C-alpha cells in the first residue's frame, strides 16, 4: 500500500527488537563487550536455547480475572519477579549510565543490583533514585580493608543485600575483548569513566585485582562485618548449593555469568530428561526451601520468566537486555524493556492458569 514500516518510529515490541536496535546504535567494540561470551560462546547461547526446549502445560477453566505479579525477595516487595542483574560500565550504552538504570528500576518497583564496576559513583546512583530497592554486587578484592570499607559504604548508603560473585577467580577468556582492547579502552576514556575525583572506586583502566584465594571459610569474615543478607552469585551445582546453606548465606543466584566466564558449563535454567537434571532444578532441590534461589542468563520473554519460577526460582535477573534498553532511550528504554517483559509474564500467567 505504499507505507514503509521499517523506520525508527516503529515501536519495539519484544526484547529482540531492542537487541537489534542496540546492535545498530553501539560501536562494534562496545557491542562485542556487551554481547561477548567466553571462548566459543557455547554456554552463552545455551542459556537462551535451554528455555526454548521447555514446554508449558496450561490449565484452563480457572479464574484468571485477577493476576498479581507481585512477590518478595529477602522480605522486600517487588512489583514483578523481574529484576536487574549487575553489569558494568552502563555509560558505554547511555551517558547517564547507572543513574538511568537506577531510576528505571525505582519507577518499575523492582530490585537493581549495582555492579562493583559501575561507571557512576554509588552516591550518585543512590541520590538519583533514593526510593529504589538496591543490592550491591561485590568482586572480592585481595585487600581485606578495601572490602570492608566498600561494604560499610554500601550499607550506609542503604543497599539492602550484598551479592558476592563467586565465579570470577580470574576473568574468563573473552576473545572479542582481547581483539578489541584498544578500541574498548578508547571508548571508555571518551565516556570519561574512572576519574578518581568523581568518586568511582574501580575504574576499568585500573581494574582492581580479584581475590582468587577466596573460599567458603572466608564467608564468616563477611558475615561478621555486615548485617546485610549475603547472596552468592554464580552457583551451578548441588554440592555448592548445600555448602551455601551450611555457611548460612541468605540466597543463591544460579548463574554462569551470561556465559562470560567458563564456557561449556550448564545453562542456568534446567531441562529435565531421564538422563540428567540441569543447574536450577539441582540447586532448588538441594537447598530444600531453606534459602531463596534466583536465576539469571537467557531471559528474553515472559514465558522464560514463568518457566524459571515454575522450576523453583523466586525471581529472575536481566543482564544484557537492560543494556539494550539503555542504548535505545536511557531510563525510558529500560522501563520499556521491563514493561514489555512484565506484560508478557502477566499474559503467560493468565494463559497457563
Q: Is 115 annotated as belonging to a binding site?
A: yes
Contact 19, 301 (CB under 8 A): no
Annotated binding residue 156? no
Active-site position among 21, 176, 250, 257: 257
Say how far apart CA 162 and CA 151 lie, in whole Å: 8
60 is in an annotated binding site: no
The residue among 11, 12, 13, 15 whose CA lies nearest residue 298 is 15
Taking each continuous run of H as one helix and of E as one strand, the counts in the chain are: 13, 10
320: annotated binding-site residue? yes
114 annotated ligand binder? no
* 289 annotated ligand-binding residue: no
For residues 221 and 260, give the distance between their C-alpha atoms in angstroms, rounded to a whole number: 28
**Is 297 annotated among the ligand-binding residues?**
yes
* CA distance linking residue 344 with residue 346, whole number of Å: 5
Q: Is 278 annotated as a binding residue?
A: no
257 is catalytic: yes
Q: Confirm or deny that 88 is annotated as ligand binding.
A: yes
* Residue whose C-alpha cell is 567466553: 38
Judge whether 321 is annotated as a binding position: no
DSSP, residue by residue, 294-334? EEES---SHHHHHHHHHTT-SEEEESHHHHHHHHHHHHHHH
Are 120 and 103 in contact, with CB atoms under 8 Å apart?
Answer: no
Annotated binding residue 141: no
Identify the burial level of 10 via C-beta atoms within 10 angstroms of its C-beta, where 0-12 means exposed, 13-18 middle and 19 or more buried.
exposed
CA separation, residue 252 to residues 236, 290, 308 (Å): 9, 11, 14
Side-chain-facing half-sphere of 269: CA atoms under 13 Å: 29
165 labelled binding-site residue: yes
142 in a labelled binding site: no
Check whether 87 is labelled as a binding-site residue.
Answer: yes
Residues with active-site annotation: 257
* Binding site residue list for glyoxylate: 139, 174, 257, 260
* Binding site residue list for FMN: 86-88, 115, 137, 165, 233, 255, 296-300, 319-320
* Binding site residue list: 86-88, 115, 137, 139, 165, 174, 233, 255, 257, 260, 296-300, 319-320
Amino acid at each position: 500500500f505504499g507505507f514503509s514500516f521499517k523506520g525508527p518510529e516503529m515501536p519495539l515490541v519484544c526484547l529482540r527488537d531492542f537487541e537489534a536496535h542496540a546492535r545498530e546504535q553501539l560501536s562494534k567494540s562496545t557491542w562485542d563487550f556487551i554481547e561477548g561470551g567466553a571462548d566459543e560462546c557455547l554456554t552463552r547461547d545455551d542459556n537462551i536455547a535451554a528455555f526454548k526446549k521447555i514446554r508449558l502445560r496450561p490449565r484452563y477453566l480457572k479464574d484468571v480475572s485477577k493476576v498479581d505479579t507481585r512477590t518478595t525477595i529477602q522480605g522486600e516487595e517487588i512489583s514483578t519477579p523481574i529484576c536487574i542483574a549487575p553489569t558494568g560500565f552502563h555509560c558505554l550504552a547511555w551517558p547517564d549510565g547507572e543513574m538511568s538504570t537506577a531510576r528505571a528500576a525505582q519507577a518499575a518497583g523492582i530490585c537493581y543490583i549495582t555492579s562493583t564496576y559501575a561507571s557512576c559513583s554509588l552516591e550518585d546512583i543512590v541520590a538519583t533514585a533514593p526510593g529504589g530497592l538496591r543490592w550491591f554486587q561485590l568482586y572480592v578484592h585481595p585487600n581485606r580493608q578495601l572490602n570492608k570499607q566498600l561494604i560499610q559504604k554500601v550499607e550506609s548508603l542503604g543497599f539492602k543485600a550484598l551479592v558476592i560473585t563467586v565465579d570470577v577467580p580470574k576473568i574468563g577468556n573473552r576473545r572479542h575483548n582481547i581483539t578489541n582492547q584498544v578500541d574498548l579502552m578508547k571508548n571508555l576514556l571518551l565516556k570519561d569513566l574512572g576519574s578518581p575525583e568523581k568518586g568511582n572506586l574501580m575504574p576499568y583502566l585500573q581494574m582492581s585485582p580479584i581475590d582468587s584465594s577466596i573460599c567458603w571459610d572466608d564467608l564468616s569474615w563477611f558475615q561478621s562485618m555486615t548485617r546485610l543478607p549475603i547472596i552468592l552469585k554464580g552457583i551451578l551445582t548441588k554440592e555448592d548449593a548445600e555448602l551455601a546453606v551450611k555457611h548460612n548465606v541468605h540466597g543463591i543466584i544460579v548463574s554462569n555469568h551470561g556465559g562470560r566466564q567458563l564456557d561449556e558449563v550448564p545453562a542456568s535454567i534446567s531441562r529435565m530428561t531421564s538422563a540428567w537434571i540441569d543447574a536450577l532444578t539441582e540447586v532448588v532441590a538441594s537447598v530444600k526451601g531453606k534459602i531463596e534461589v534466583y536465576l539469571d542468563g537467557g531471559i528474553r520473554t515472559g514465558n522464560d520468566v514463568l518457566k524459571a519460577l515454575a522450576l523453583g526460582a523466586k525471581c529472575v535477573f536481566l543482564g544484557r537486555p537492560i543494556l539494550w534498553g539503555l542504548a535505545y532511550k536511557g531510563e525510558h528504554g529500560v522501563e520499556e524493556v521491563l514493561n514489555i517483559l512484565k506484560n508478557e509474564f502477566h499474559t503467560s500467567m493468565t494463559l497457563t492458569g
